[in-house]
Chains A and B, each alone.
Chain A
Amino acid sequence: MAIVAQNSKFGTFGRPILAWAVALLFFFPIFWLVFTSFKTDADAVNPEFLFFFTPTLENYANMTENYDYWHFATNSIVTSVLATAVALVVGIPAAYAMAFNPSRHTKDILMWMLSTKMLPAAAVLYPMTFLAKGLGIYDTHFVIILVLTLVNLPIVIWMLFTYFKEIPKDIIEAAQMDGISTWGEIKEILIPLAWGGIAATALLTFIFCWNEAYWTVRLTTTEASTLSALIEGNRAPEGLFFGRLSAVSAAAVGPIVVLGWFCQKQLVRGLSFGAVK
C-alpha cells in the first residue's frame, strides 16, 4: 500500500509540475519565434533587449515589402486546397470500393499503396524535374498540385478506408436492396455518414500539403513557390534579419498550428493508419 500512497503524492504535486515543465519546454521555441517577431531587427540581436523591449508590429506590416509574403501564401493556399480536393475526389471512390466491395487483392493493394510512401522523393528528383520541364509545367501550380496529390493519396485512402469500415454494412446492404445506384450509394449514404471522417482527412491532408518542403522547393523557382520555399530561400540571415524572419515564419506556421490543435485526435488515426484509435 505504500506504493499507492507514494503514487498519489506524486500525482498531486509532482505530476502536474513536471508535466507543465515539459510542455512549456516543448512550446518554448514557438513562443520564442513569436516573441522575436515583435522586436525590430536591431533589438532582436541586442542582448539588452532579450526579454524587455518595445514591441512593434513593423515586421508584420512590412512582410509584403520584405518578402512578398502574400504571393507565397496565396500559392500555398491554392496548391494545398486543390491538392486536398483532388486527393479526396480520387480517394473517396477508391476507399469506398475497398471498404465495401473488397476483393482478394484489396489488402495487397492497400499495403502496396502504403509502400509507395516509402519511395524516397530524392530518388526521382531528376526525372521529375526533367518531366516537368519537358512538359512545360515546371514552376506552375499544376505540377505542385499533382505531386502533392500523389504524395498524399496513400494516406488519404488509408484514413478514409478506416472511417468507411466503421459504417455498418447493413445500412449499405439495405440501400442496395432498394436498388440504389453506386453513385447514389456514395452520395446519399457514404458521404453523409462518414462526413466527420472525411473532414478530418481533408484537414490533415491540407496540413501535410502546406508543410511539404521537398517538391515545392525543387519544382519551382518563384511563380508557384509556396511558403516553405520562401522560408528555405531565406534560411541563414546570420543575425541580420531575426525580427522580420521570425515574423514571416510565424505567419507561415500560425494558421496551421491552430488548425492542428483542432485535429489532434484525427492525427493519431491518420498517421497510425487506423491501428491506434
Chain B
Amino acid sequence: MSSRALPRLLQTPAVVLLLIWMLVPLGMTLFFSFIRYVLASLNRPEWTSPSFSNWRGFGNYGFVLDSKDFWLAVNNSLFIVGSILFLTVALGVMIAVLINKAFPGQGIVRVLLISPFFIMPAVNAVLWINMILDPVLGLNGLAVGGINSVIVDLKDAPLIGWFFSLWPQLEPISFRSSQNSAYAVIMMVTWQWTPFAVLIFMTSLQSEDEQQKEAAILDGASLWSQFRFLTLPHLGRPMAIVVMIQAIFHLSLYAEIEIVSRGNGNKNLPYLIGEFANNNIGAASATGIFAVILANIVAIFLLRAVGKTLME
C-alpha cells in the first residue's frame, strides 16, 4: 500500500490547482453578489470597495431579476444554444451518413469539412458579419443587389416585362440589427460546430455492425428503416457527447455576440455580466451566480446522461 502512496500523490498538484481555480474566484463572486459594490460612484464612494459593511443581502439578485435585460438574456442564451444544438446534431448526422461510405475524394472532403472547426471565434464572427452578411458590401448585400438589377433589366424585356414589373425591390436582411443578430450568431456557430458533430458521428459510424446491416438489407429493410432502427440508436451515445460538449462551450459564447451586435438586442448571460461589470459589480456577480446555476442544471442533466458511458 505504501508503494502506492507516492504515485497517488502525483495527482495532487492538478487537483489543488483546479480546486483553487474553482473555489477562489467563485467564492469572491458569491461574496460580491451580496454586497453593494460599484466601480465609480460620486455620491456613495464607500460602495466602491468590497466590504461587509455594504451588505445588501439578496438585493442584487432582486435587482437582476427585475431587470428586463436579464430575462431577455436567459431566453436568448437558451434560444441560441438550443438552436445550435438542434442544427449541428441534425446536419451532423445527415452529413456523416452521407460521407461515411467510400467515394472519390473522400479524404479531401473530410479535410474541407473539418476546417471551419479550427477557425478562432473572433475570425469566424468578423468574417461572417462583414464579408458575408453585410447588407451592403458583404455577399448578402451584393447578391440581393445583383438579383434586383436583373429584375430591373427584365422589366424592360418584351412579353415578360409586365410580369417582372410586378416584382418589388428586394431588401437585404441586416444581421447587425437587433432581432436578426441572434440568427447571425446561430448561423456562424452552426457553421463552426457542425464539422465537429460530423467528425464524431463518422468515427462512431465506422464501428457500426456491418453484418447486422447486411442482414437487414437481405430482410428487405428500407433505407429509412435501416437508418431509423440501426444507425440512429448506434449514434445515441455520440449524440449525447456532442450535445454535452457543445452545451459547455456555447453557454459561454461571447466573442460572436460582441462582434455581431455588441449585445444590441442579442445579449446572452455572459454578455450581460460583462455589461454589468462595467460598473455594477454586485449585479454582475449576482448574474454570474445565476449563470452558474443555469450551467449546473444543464451539467447535472447532461453528466447524468453521459457520465456513465464516459467511465466504461
Contact = CB atoms under 8 A, between A and B. Distances in A.
Given A214-B254, A260-B117, A126 B11 contact: no
B115 A30 contact: yes
B196 A271 contact: yes
Contacts, number: 310
Interface of A is mostly: helix
B157 interface: no
Given A32-B139, A127-B29, A98 B115 contact: no
Task: Name the interface size band of chain A.
Answer: 35 or more
Nearest to A4: B217
Contact of A253 (B119, B130, B296, B307): B119
A16 B29 contact: no
A153 B118 contact: no
A141 to B, nearest CB: 18
Contacts of A32: 127, 131-132, 139
Given A30-B116, A123-B29, A126-B281, A271 B200 contact: yes
A124 B258 contact: no
A239 B136 contact: yes
Contacts of B3: 176
A96 B119 CA distance: 32
A117 B296 CA distance: 11
Listed residue (B99, B110, B115) with the most chain A CB atoms within 10 angstroms of its CB: B115
A108 B290 CA distance: 25
Interface residues of B, number: 109
Nearest to A13: B103
Interface string A1-34: 0011011000100011011101110110110110
A144 interface: no
Nearest to B199: A268
Interface string A90-110: 110110111011010001011
B126 A249 contact: yes
Interface string A21-61: 01110110110110010000000010100100000000000
A163 interface: no
Contacts of B289: 123
Interface in B1-51: 3-4, 6-11, 13-15, 17-18, 21-22, 24-26, 28-29, 32
Given A26-B191, A94-B11, A273 B101 contact: no
B170 interface: no
16 contacts: A16-B103, A16-B105, A23-B99, A26-B112, A27-B112, A97-B10, A113-B14, A124-B26, A129-B277, A131-B28, A210-B120, A229-B122, A232-B255, A259-B118, A267-B117, A277-B203
Interface of B: 3-4, 6-11, 13-15, 17-18, 21-22, 24-26, 28-29, 32, 95, 98-99, 101, 103-106, 108-123, 125-132, 134, 136-137, 139, 142, 145-146, 176, 191, 194-196, 199-200, 203-204, 217, 220-223, 237-238, 241, 245, 248, 251-252, 254-255, 258-259, 269-271, 273-274, 277, 281, 284-285, 288-289, 291-292, 295-296, 298-299, 303, 306-307, 309-312
Interface of A: 3-4, 6-7, 11, 15-16, 18-20, 22-24, 26-27, 29-30, 32-33, 36, 45, 47, 50, 90-91, 93-94, 96-98, 100-101, 103, 107, 109-111, 113-131, 149-150, 153-154, 157, 176, 182, 207, 210-211, 213-214, 217-218, 227-229, 231-232, 234-237, 239, 242, 245-246, 249, 252-253, 256-257, 259-261, 264-265, 267-268, 271-277
Given A19-B109, A120-B295, A234-B126, 20 more contacts: A30-B116, A30-B119, A32-B139, A47-B145, A110-B311, A116-B21, A122-B273, A123-B295, A126-B284, A149-B17, A182-B10, A213-B255, A231-B120, A239-B130, A239-B137, A242-B130, A249-B123, A253-B119, A267-B114, A275-B306
